[in-house]
Amino acid sequence: MITCEGLVKIYKSDDLEVVALQGLNLKVEDGELMAIIGNSGSGKSTLLNILGGLDRPSAGSVQVGPWDLLKISEDDLVKYKRETVGFIWQNNARNLLPYLSALENVEMPMMLSGKVDRTYAKQLLEWVGLKERMYNKLHQLSGGEQQRVAIAISLCNRPKLLLADEPTGSVDTATSDLIMGIFRKLNKELGVTIVIVTHDLTLAGKVDRVVAIRDGLTSTEFLKRNPNMIPGGGEEPEEKGLQAVHEAYVVVDRVGRLQVPKEYLNALNIKDKASMEFDGERIIISPPKSLGG
Ligand SMILES: Nc1ncnc2c1ncn2[C@@H]1O[C@H](COP(=O)(O)OP(=O)(O)OP(=O)(O)O)[C@@H](O)[C@H]1O
């Protein structure tokens, strides 16, 4: 579904340049439900905005389904956004209309795109567990319920790809679990590919694959040790975070580059050079050996 290779995004303002993505590689399979984590400023939102067609990449390649998002024309980009992708933000609910009902809020974007499908709008609200609340005005719903209305809206155009930026950022744990349950259902039953960007390691721990971004590059991949384990099914030690259920792998790109965490480099005082040895089984990176005697 998604292939990014050597993806670069540079923000230019006056005489300042910020390299937000510096040659990022990422593959997401059709029908996958995965998460992207990373520190603040690592480039997560930049990546999501590019995938959502809200921002243009500077260089490299990014393919979503049949669309090449580097070369895509403005007209096709509008079509891509309308037909392929759905977006959920942390504070999506802020963009909803408080004096309209949940159902009217879902119908509004349908109206704007010229085709209101009331049956589908109702079905969407049922999917997000708001069947009983669809005629309530938005201001009568809790923050978590409003966020679920926002999820229903993101599915109005029947997207093949759903992008969620911190979808549980401002809700409590119970609502966060509920939202994750909705994502899982949409993924399983409708086959929607879902990419979640989050700081929340508990949330990330509930998906099979997590990719960590560091300094605008994919650095580590976490794969669930037992993908058949039912998430939230009791056996899973979710509270222990990612490492408890996932195996961590460092990402090696096509030409053999990998990122060594800064804390490892600092601990060994490695700056611009290192020694590398291969002992037949392991590759050992150490501070440069002194050339003198
Ligand atoms: N419109 C912009 N103009 C200039 N610089 C930007 C712009 N958007 C993002 N940046 C910079 O690009 C880098 C990556 O930002 P981005 O928002 O993608 O990070 P993030 O991982 O999503 O962070 P957070 O978790 O805090 O949202 C940061 O250094 C940021 O300051």
58, pLDDT greater than 50 = yes
Distance 46 CA to ligand 1 centre (A): 6
Atom from ligand 1 closest to the CA of residue 213:
21
123 SS3 class: helix
Structure-token pair, residue 197? 């960007």
Nearest residue CA, atom 18 of ligand 1? 43
Other C-beta atoms lying within 10 Å of the C-beta of residue 204:
23
56 lines ligand 1 (CB under 6 A): no
**Cα of 28 from ligand 1 centre, angstroms:** 22
Percentage of the chain beyond pLDDT 90 is 53
Which of 89-98, 166-175, 190-199, 207-216 is predicted with the least confidence, judged by mean pLDDT? 89-98
Q: In the chain, what are the domain boundaries? A: 268-293
Half-sphere exposure of residue 38: CA atoms within 13 angstroms, side-chain side? 28
Residue 18 CA: nearest ligand 1 atom is 5
Q: What pLDDT score was predicted for residue 169?
A: 78
Which ligand 1 atom is at minimum distance from the Cα of 43?
18
Q: Please tell me the distance between residue 133's alpha carbon and the centre of ligand 1 in angstroms.
A: 37
What is the dihedral sign for C-alpha 110, 94, 56, 47?
Answer: negative
Q: How high is the pLDDT of residue 236?
A: 46
Mutate to test the pocket of ligand 1, among 39, 46, 90, 199 (most ligand atoms within 8 A of CB): 46
Spatial neighbors of 26 by CB under 8 A, at least 6 apart, are: 2, 3, 4, 7, 47, 211, 218
- Report the pLDDT averaged over residues 53-57: 93
- What interface predicted TM-score (ipTM) does this complex get? 0.95
CA 271 to chain centre: 32
Average pLDDT over residues 172-182: 86
Work out which ligand 1 atom sits closest to the CA atom of 16.
Answer: 4
Cβ of residue 43 lying under 6 Å from some atom of ligand 1: yes
pLDDT digits (tens, 9 = 90+) for 108-156: 988 887 889 999 999 999 999 999 999 999 989 988 899 899 999 999 8
**pLDDT (0 to 100) of residue 240:** 54
Q: How confident is the model at residue 31 (pLDDT cuts 50, 70, 90)?
A: very high
Average pLDDT over residues 33-50: 93
pLDDT at 225 over 90: no
Q: What is the pLDDT of residues 185-218, one digit of tens each?
A: 999 988 999 999 998 888 888 888 999 999 888 8
Average pLDDT of the chain, as a whole number: 87
Span from the CA of 214 to the centroid of ligand 1 (angstroms): 12
Q: What is the pLDDT at residue 241?
A: 64
pLDDT classification of 291: cutoffs 50, 70, 90: low
Ligand 1 centre to CA of 44 (Å) is 8
Q: Please give the distance, rounded to the nearest whole angstrom, from the Cα atom of residue 196 to the centre of ligand 1.
A: 17
Q: Do the bridges between strand 283-286 and strand 275-278 make them parallel or antiparallel, or are there none, so unpaired?
A: antiparallel
Residue nearest to atom 5 of ligand 1 (CA): 11
Kindly state if the Cβ of 38 falls inside 6 Å of ligand 1: yes
Q: 21 alpha carbon to ligand 1 midpoint, in Å?
A: 9
How sure is the predictor about 15, in pLDDT bands with cuts at 50, 70 and 90?
confident
Q: Which atom of ligand 1 is nearest to the CA of 197?
A: 22
Ligand 1, atom 30, lies closest to the CA of 41
C-alpha distances in Å from residue 158, one per residue of 54, 62, 164, 186, 214: 18, 22, 15, 11, 32
Mean pLDDT over 42-59 rounds to: 93
Ligand 1: residue whose CA is nearest its atom 2? 11
Kindly indicate the confidence band of residue 92, based on its pLDDT and cuts at 50, 70 and 90: low
Position 103 scores a pLDDT of: 96
| Per-residue model confidence (pLDDT) at position 62 | 96
Q: Which residue has the CA at smallest separation from atom 24 of ligand 1?
A: 40
Q: What is the pLDDT of residue 109?
A: 87
pLDDT, one tens digit per residue, over 230-286 is: 555 444 444 456 777 788 899 998 888 898 988 899 999 999 899 999 999 999 999
Instruction: Give the pLDDT of residue 123.
Output: 94
Of 65, 1, 7, 63, nearest in space to 34 by CA: 1
Confidence of residue 229 (pLDDT cuts 50, 70, 90): low
**Distance between Cα 53 and ligand 1 center (Å):** 16
